[in-house]
Every structure is written in C-alpha cells, then in structure tokens.
Amino acid sequence: MLPLAEGFEEIEALTVVDVLRRAGINVDTVGVMGSMVTGSHGVRVMTDKKILEINADEYDGIVLPGGNPGYLNLGRSSKIIEILKKFDAEGKLIAAICAAPSVLAKAGVLEGKKATIYPGMEKELPYPRGERVVIDGKIITSQAPGTAMEFALAIVEFLAGKDRAFQMKRQLVV
C-alpha cells in the first residue's frame, strides 16, 4: 500500500506506483483523509481506496512518500503509525522516501536500523546515512524526488527479485 496524505510529493508517490505496477506488483494508493488527495505541487489524485476501507493484513508492505506537508500529515495519522508498528512486528516491507523516514522514526521502527532522509533532516533519525537509498533488512529509505526511481527499483528487487528489477532497469533505460 502507498498512503497519500494532503501535500504528498508527486514524483515520489507516482514514480513508485508506476514502477511497481509496470513490474507486475499490485499496489493500492490509499487516501489517509479521503479519496481525492492533492500533492504538494497541486496534482490531484483519486486514490484506489480510503484508509478506513482497508485491511492491513492484506498487504505485504507500506511505502510512504514525502512531501511537505504530506509527511507531517502521515505522521499525524494514528492509523499510519499503527500500521507501521504492526508491519514492523510482522517483518513486512516498510519503505519511506524524502522526509517520510521521520514518520518511521516516530513510529519507533528505525531503532537499531540504518536509514537515510532528505538532506538536512538527519537529526530526525537514530542512525542516519548519507546514501541515496539505504536498505536495512525489511526497511528501505531514500532521500528525495531525484532518488525516486532508484527507490522504486529497490522495492521491486525486494518484492520480485533481482531479475525482475534488472528487467525493469533495462525497460526504463535506467
């Protein structure tokens, strides 16, 4: 699932959705506050589902896009925090990009984990790294809109394997 809150970063969210779907991976966009969500640059998106309609047990992972105030709105959602804690306990994929890794820290899922975040926000993380994409077990984090393709491909590799990720890289000319 990829939850969308008002003010989400369009490149980060839509790149991930597009690449995962091209790879044959089912992903639902989930509206945190409703089914029509506006990104930080005015792009309006109709989500597949609303957060109150989903059963988190039906998902293999969660991907949080950044964007301001999108990441703040994700962090204010008790349902998102609850899902993050549940997925962490169950060993499911948890991914976040840009400022959204701070939501992972808020939920307590980054304790003892390496992660990256938007440059300048490193103090928000317990063990920050400067790489564009950081994978630590079942947690994948990335820095910004410019790293969205690498981030999406890392998620494809995690969920569908190296061969599928390589195929996607070739298809997308990455």
DSSP state letters, 22-37: HTT----EEESS-SEE
Residue type, 53: E
Residue type, 136: D
CB atoms within 10 A of CB 42: 7
Handedness of CA 17, 21, 93, 164 (dihedral sign): negative
d(CA 36, CA 25): 23
DSSP state letters, 73-123: HHHT-HHHHHHHHHHHHHT-EEEEETTTHHHHHHHTTTTT--B--STT-GG
Which residues are catalytically annotated?
A: 98
d(CA 6, CA 42): 10
